[in-house]
Amino acid sequence: MSAQAQPPKGASPQRRLSAQDIRARKGGDPVVCLTAYDAPTAAALDAHCDLLLVGDSVGMVVHGLPNTIGVTLEMMVLHGQAVMRGAQKAMVVIDMPFGSYEAGPEQAFANCARVMKETGAQGVKLECGPGAAETVAYLVQRGIPVMGHVGLRPQSTLAEGGFKAKGKDEAEASQILSDAEATDTAGAFAIVVEGVAEGLARRITAAVSAPTIGIGASAACDGQILVTDDMLGRFEWTPRFVRRYADLRGVIDQAAAQYAEDVRARRFPAEVETYFSKKPG
């Protein structure tokens, strides 16, 4: 452990939030969640968040993939390990990537157990369509805290024709509500609700005992999550449901432009940034 990661002498190590702590927030103070993919970002977010999600969105945000389908288990482990090095207080949850749990409970357990062992994270997240509840229950019964995910499920976008809001008609809304209730009954400690109308988010939140974490699902949920890079304005375009709290793309562009100008004008490095040999004698 590095000196930076160690608590000061005489101080007690800070207790990390757990699945039980998050579940106990149902109907109480909103649960604050953001995504994190690396140690420095996790360290910066840790004091402000209850839960950090190592989302499979890392494939699009960090690796430039067109969707989350190409994300691998190895990628999630690598980024999960980095986030665990940076975060000390927040609960850390790892997204299980496409193809790592759909074949059945046994496959899911083997891969989830690997992720938790190799990262030290406190839970995993699964996208929960029809039939997923059996896998969730299997994992929970074997000691793996599970966060569910209903509504718009990014890993299903190829089959469903892209990123589209869900639950617009009653049949689809009823299916999403049923998925959420089944996930809750199976023992999920929280459920992400993505890309649904306010009315459906409110129905789901009222129907389940686990806290709901909204993303594009209105303030009717028990908490909120955003992709941190969207919230910080690192991209030219952000979804409608995102509020930009910064313009990091502009800041980075301005800093890089100034650096390039200083290098070309030989203003960088200056004397203060240069090493010199010791003078003899």
Residue stretches of the annotated binding site: 56-57, 95, 125, 127
Q: Is 194 a catalytic residue?
A: yes
The DSSP string of 36-83 is: --SHHHHHHHHTT-SEEEE-TTHHHHTT--SSSTT--HHHHHHHHHHH
- The half-sphere exposure of 219 on its side-chain side, counting CA atoms within 13 A, is 1
Cα–Cα distance, 94 to 76 (Å, whole number)? 7
Reduced to 3 states (helix: H, G, I; strand: E, B; else coil), residue 7 is: coil
Reduced to 3 states (helix: H, G, I; strand: E, B; else coil), residue 275 is: coil
Cα–Cα distance, 187 to 179 (Å, whole number)? 13
- The half-sphere exposure of 110 on its side-chain side, counting CA atoms within 13 A, is 8
Reduced to 3 states (helix: H, G, I; strand: E, B; else coil), residue 103 is: coil
Type of residue numbered 236: E
The one catalytic residue in 194, 198, 236, 273 is 194
In contact, 176 and 194? CB cutoff 8 Å: no
Annotated binding residues for Mg(2+): 56, 95, 127
Phi and psi at residue 124, in whole multiples of 5°? -130, 160
Reduced to 3 states (helix: H, G, I; strand: E, B; else coil), residue 154 is: helix
Nearest-10 Cα torsion for 74, 77, 83, 87: 180
Annotated binding residues for 3-methyl-2-oxobutanoate: 56-57, 95, 125
In whole angstroms, how far apart are CA 16 and each of 50, 113, 127, 226? 9, 20, 25, 21
In contact, 274 and 268? CB cutoff 8 Å: no
Residues belonging to the active site:
194
